[in-house]
């Protein structure tokens, strides 16, 4: 994705009355935020903009949708073409190992990644995955890293005991019905509708919004390193605004559903479906939007998992790496 594609701006709504959050100055600080409005879980960004949360924290935020090439997005942020972005932490960790000048400052929510199994393939638990074939939209998908770790913890070698097969995401249910794969990894809304239409065959085998995997954040806030150095109060304000918006999703699902439909009016999901999806993502302070030391510890656990399954370089020290890519901008 060329950096020149950055465009298509949606500005914040009229600011709402001041809240207790610290203001920067009377003049709003302008920031550019890259996001994907069609991802239901990232409704936090739209909510912060539409409800004036950014403005209450002294920010005027332009939101830009430029696709899903994570490395290109991080490059855009690192080079100052944008100021921040939010996505799955597992999409960020490997590119950040390359040294992009970007810091992770907070979680945004948990959940949104799923390993779906087929009962017809004889699957009822993770232990049944030995010898099975797992579909992925691309073999470098970060969801592969997550479930490779889950398989390994269950005593299944993610490289030799299962086969990863690449298919277009919208064909996973067809591939299962044809016997070409036994399970697949994907996100909403594809997963939601695949299960609904499978007549009981497909089910959620594992997810990062529940069980052991659900004890950590999923999507996180990534901020331009030079912004933090030049205007740390702005980076702190953005972090506070995102956390406030995430907690608002937890408190007011109706408002979150309305916002999701406002920013993605062509979505195949209706209000009932979007509500069920959003309700499945933890947006609480612990798992959904941790900050500070708790956030650092969660990122460290991801880094250790990725090192354990061979995604991070053998020379990468998870603790040192985590300390480099995370920063608590709210204190100190």
Let me know: does 185 contact 144? Beta carbons within 8 Å. yes
Task: Centre a 10 Å sphere on the Cβ of residue 293 and count the other Cβ atoms it contains.
Answer: 11
For residue 332, pLDDT beyond 70: no
- What is the distance between the alpha carbons of residues 88 and 110, in angstroms, rounded to a whole number? 9
Instruction: Determine, yes or no, domain membership for 134.
Output: yes
pLDDT of 149 reads: 85
Instruction: Determine, yes or no, domain membership for 93.
Output: yes
User: Domain range holding 183?
Assistant: 113-207
Same domain, 93 and 140: no
CA angle 224, 65, 101 (to 5 degrees): 15
CATH of the domain at 227: 3.40.190.10
How much is the mean pLDDT over the chain? 89
User: What confidence tens digit (pLDDT) does each residue in 259-291 have?
Assistant: 999 998 878 889 999 999 999 888 888 778 999
User: What confidence tens digit (pLDDT) does each residue in 144-175 have?
Assistant: 888 998 899 899 999 999 999 999 988 999 99
Task: Name the more confident of 126 and 24.
Answer: 126
- Cite the DSSP H helix spans in the chain: 43-50, 53-56, 70-78, 89-97, 142-153, 172-177, 190-196, 225-230, 232-251, 253-263, 271-279, 292-308, 318-325
- What is the distance between the alpha carbons of residues 319 and 49, in angstroms, rounded to a whole number? 34
For residue 10, pLDDT beyond 90: no
Domain end point (choices 176, 207, 238): 207
Same domain, 26 and 123: no
Instruction: Determine, yes or no, domain membership for 7.
Output: yes
Instruction: Determine, yes or no, domain membership for 309.
Output: yes
For residue 68, pLDDT beyond 90: no
Same domain, 65 and 10: yes
Same domain, 130 and 107: no
DSSP 8-state code for residue 189: T
Tokens of 280: 């499945």
- Cite the DSSP H helix spans in 167-270: 172-177, 190-196, 225-230, 232-251, 253-263
C-alpha distance from residue 126 to each of 50, 97, 207 (Å): 41, 30, 11
Among 22-36, 44-58, 148-162, top mean pLDDT goes to 44-58
- What is the distance between the alpha carbons of residues 55 and 60, in angstroms, rounded to a whole number? 6
- What is the distance between the alpha carbons of residues 202 and 194, in angstroms, rounded to a whole number? 7
User: What confidence tens digit (pLDDT) does each residue in 213-252 have?
Assistant: 788 999 999 999 999 999 999 999 999 999 999 999 989 9
Domain end point (choices 190, 207, 224): 207
Same domain, 238 and 321: yes
Instruction: Please compute Rg for the chain using Cα positions.
Output: 20
Instruction: Determine, yes or no, domain membership for 266.
Output: yes
- What is the distance between the alpha carbons of residues 106 and 288, in angstroms, rounded to a whole number? 9
Same domain, 138 and 167: yes
Q: What is the mean pLDDT of residues 95-118?
A: 94
Q: What percent of the chain has pLDDT above 90?
A: 67
Give the total residue count for the chain: 332
Same domain, 105 and 119: no
Angle between helices 142-153 and 292-308 (to 10 degrees): 80
User: What confidence tens digit (pLDDT) does each residue in 78-93 have?
Assistant: 999 999 999 999 989 9
pLDDT of 125 reads: 95
Considering the entire predicted model, what is its pTM? 0.87
For residue 26, pLDDT beyond 80: no
270: region left, alpha or beta (phi > 0 left; psi from -120 to 50 alpha) = beta
- What is the distance between the alpha carbons of residues 179 and 231, in angstroms, rounded to a whole number? 55
Number of domains composing the chain: 2
Lowest mean pLDDT among 3-17, 95-109, 196-210: 3-17
Q: 116: helix, coil or strand?
A: strand
Let me know: does 270 contact 84? Beta carbons within 8 Å. no
Among 3-7, 56-60, 216-220, top mean pLDDT goes to 56-60
For residue 25, pLDDT beyond 60: no
Work out the end-to-end distance of the chain between its first and last CA atoms, rounded to an integer number of angstroms. 36
Q: In whole angstroms, what separates CA 278 from the centre of its chain?
A: 13
For residue 14, pLDDT beyond 70: no
- What is the distance between the alpha carbons of residues 30 and 4, in angstroms, rounded to a whole number? 20
Tokens of 264: 């993605």
- What is the distance between the alpha carbons of residues 224 and 242, in angstroms, rounded to a whole number? 15
Same domain, 104 and 230: yes
Same domain, 198 and 252: no
Tokens of 225: 């390193």
Let me know: does 240 contact 55? Beta carbons within 8 Å. no
Same domain, 107 and 220: yes
């Amino acid at each position: 994705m060329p950096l020149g594609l950055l465009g298509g701006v949606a500005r914040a709504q009229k600011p709402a009355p001041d809240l207790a959050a610290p203001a920067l100055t009377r003049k709003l600080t302008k920031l550019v935020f890259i996001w994907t409005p069609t991802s239901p879980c990232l409704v936090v960004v739209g909510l912060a903009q539409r409800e004036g949360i950014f403005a209450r924290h002294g920010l005027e935020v332009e939101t830009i949708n430029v696709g899903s090439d994570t490395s290109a997005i991080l490059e855009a942020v690192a080079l100052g073409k944008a100021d921040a972005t939010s996505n799955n932490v597992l999409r960020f960790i490997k590119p950040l190992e390359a040294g992009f000048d970007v810091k992770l400052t907070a979680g945004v929510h948990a959940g949104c990644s799923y390993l779906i199994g087929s009962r017809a393939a004889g699957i009822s638990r993770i232990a049944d995955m030995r010898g099975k074939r797992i579909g992925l939209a691309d073999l470098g998908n970060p969801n592969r890293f997550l479930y490779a770790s889950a398989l390994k913890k269950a005593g299944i070698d993610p490289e030799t005991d299962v086969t990863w097969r690449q298919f277009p995401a919208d064909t996973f249910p067809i591939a299962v019905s044809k016997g070409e794969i036994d399970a697949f990894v994907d996100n909403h809304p594809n997963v939601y509708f695949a299960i609904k239409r499978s007549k009981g065959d497909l089910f959620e085998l594992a997810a990062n919004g529940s069980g052991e995997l659900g004890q950590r954040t999923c999507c996180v806030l990534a901020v331009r390193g030079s912004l933090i150095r030049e205007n740390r109060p702005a980076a702190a304000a953005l972090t506070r605004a995102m956390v406030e918006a995430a907690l608002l999703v937890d408190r007011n699902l109706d408002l979150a559903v309305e916002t999701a439909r406002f920013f993605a009016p062509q979505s195949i999901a209706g209000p009932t479906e979007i509500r069920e999806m959003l309700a499945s993502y933890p947006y609480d302070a612990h798992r959904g939007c941790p900050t500070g030391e708790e956030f650092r510890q969660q990122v460290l656990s991801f880094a250790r998992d990725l090192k354990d399954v061979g995604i991070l370089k053998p020379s990468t020290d998870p603790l040192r790496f985590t300390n480099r890519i995370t920063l608590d901008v709210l204190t100190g």
